[in-house]
């Protein structure tokens, strides 16, 4: 099932709010890193690296999308995450275990910069700005991991699935009421892996939403027909401003989330009638160890 204009996703499959590592670099640092690496294009379906093999180099995705998978003890392949433009792959496993902890495969054509693991470490040691950019990218991963855990604790399988579809079709130029279609071919089994639920949960939810004209499906493609209703299903929350005393102006927030209110069922906005909407809590499922 596919979505055009995907939001970049982290190794823990949380939503990235800022630019990736590559975009955080200045032009000079990009030039240095390009000089010590080599650019390569991987066709759709080609494996960039295999789980268990030595980590000899780091991939920096310049364009395209990859899927990251692991194999369970009983031989079942599990889709852990989708990774996109600007993200670095393999730099953590190289420092921690020395071996790939996941398999990375191109979904469509992918262009990547390949840098030796040792050269990448030396680059960060000698370029403070690049090291800062890398720390910022790692901080985004940790933030997303925390939101991931909250999502598992607070949201049901269908809610997590709705959130995943919203995130896959979320892009800066998106029109709120316009239909959006997913551009990556994902099976129901893969969607289930991404949200940490069973395939039957995904099947039932998609069938119900299709009958209610919230989504449309065509083989592996999903079209969101009613984004507002899907947002309500996902239970996306909008921040409520605090009073001068530091208390939320409404008591309708869920336990442990003071200062937050549910969107209005009719509009997806705060029930207070104020037009200004604050940031949302985004809980996206499925954990992933670094490749």
The DSSP secondary-structure symbol of 248 reads B
Token pair 């000079």 in the structure block, residue: 28
Q: Answer yes or no: is pLDDT of 170 > 60.
A: yes
The pLDDT tens digits for 59-75 are: 999 999 999 999 999 98
Q: What is the CA radius of gyration of the chain?
A: 20
Lowest mean pLDDT among 65-79, 88-102, 130-144, 155-169: 88-102
Q: Within 13 Å and on the Cβ side, how many CA atoms surround 282?
A: 20
The pLDDT tens digits for 182-210 are: 767 888 999 998 888 999 999 999 999 99
Share of the chain above pLDDT 90, in %: 49
Q: Smallest Cα–Cα separation from 261: which of 279, 283, 245?
A: 279
pTM for the full model?
A: 0.71
Q: Smallest Cα–Cα separation from 182: which of 173, 192, 191, 195?
A: 191
The pLDDT tens digits for 4-60 are: 334 444 334 555 556 789 999 999 999 999 999 999 999 999 999 999 999 999 999
Q: Smallest Cα–Cα separation from 183: which of 222, 226, 218, 210?
A: 222
For residues 231 and 165, give the distance between their C-alpha atoms in angstroms, rounded to a whole number: 10
The CA–CA distances, whole Å, from 84 to 6, 24, 161, 213, 239 equal 9, 15, 20, 30, 29
State the Cα torsion 177-227-166-202 to the nearest 10°. Answer: -150
Domain ranges of the chain: 1-234+273-291
Q: Answer yes or no: is pLDDT of 278 > 70.
A: no
The CA–CA distances, whole Å, from 204 to 80, 153, 192, 197, 211 equal 22, 21, 12, 12, 11
Structural element, H or E, at residue 145: helix 128-154
Strands 47-49 and 103-106: antiparallel
Q: What is the pLDDT of residue 10?
A: 39
For residues 135 and 188, give the distance between their C-alpha atoms in angstroms, rounded to a whole number: 35
Q: Are 268 and 232 in contact (CB under 8 A)?
A: yes
The pLDDT tens digits for 255-275 are: 333 334 444 443 344 343 333
Average pLDDT of every residue of the chain = 78
For residues 236 and 263, give the distance between their C-alpha atoms in angstroms, rounded to a whole number: 7
**What's the distance, CA 261 to chain centroid?**
24
For residues 165 and 284, give the distance between their C-alpha atoms in angstroms, rounded to a whole number: 10
Phi then psi dihedrals of residue 50, to 5 deg: -110, 145
Q: What is the CATH code for 1-234+273-291?
A: 2.60.120.10
At 65 the three-state DSSP class reads: coil
Neighbours of 48 (CB within 10 A): 22
Q: Are 164 and 155 in contact (CB under 8 A)?
A: no
């Amino acid at each position: 099932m596919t979505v055009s204009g995907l939001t970049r996703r982290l190794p823990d499959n949380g939503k990235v709010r800022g630019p990736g590592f590559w975009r955080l670099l200045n032009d000079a640092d990009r030039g240095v890193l390009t000089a010590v690496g080599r650019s390569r294009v991987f066709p759709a379906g080609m494996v960039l690296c295999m789980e268990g093999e030595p980590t000899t180099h780091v991939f920096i995705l310049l364009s395209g999308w990859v899927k990251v998978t692991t194999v369970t003890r009983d031989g079942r392949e599990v889709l852990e995450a989708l990774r996109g433009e600007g993200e670095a792959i393999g730099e953590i496993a190289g420092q921690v275990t020395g071996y790939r902890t996941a398999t990375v495969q191109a979904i469509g054509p992918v262009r990547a910069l390949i840098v030796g693991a040792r050269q990448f470490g030396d680059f960060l040691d000698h370029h403070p700005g690049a090291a800062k950019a890398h720390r910022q990218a790692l901080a985004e991963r940790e933030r997303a991991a925390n939101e991931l855990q909250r999502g598992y604790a607070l949201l049901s399988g269908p809610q997590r699935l709705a959130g995943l579809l919203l995130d896959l079709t979320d892009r800066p130029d998106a029109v709120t009421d316009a239909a959006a279609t997913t551009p990556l071919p994902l099976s129901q089994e893969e969607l289930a892996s991404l949200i940490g639920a069973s395939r039957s949960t995904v099947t039932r939810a998609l069938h119900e939403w299709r009958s209610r004209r919230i989504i449309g499906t065509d083989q592996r493609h999903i079209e969101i027909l009613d984004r507002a209703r899907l947002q309500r299903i996902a239970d996306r929350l909008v921040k409520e401003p605090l009073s001068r005393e530091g208390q939320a102006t409404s008591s309708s927030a869920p336990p442990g989330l003071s200062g937050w209110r549910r969107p209005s069922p009719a509009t997806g906005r705060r029930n207070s009638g104020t037009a200004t909407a604050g940031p949302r809590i985004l809980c996206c499922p499925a954990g992933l160890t670094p490749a």
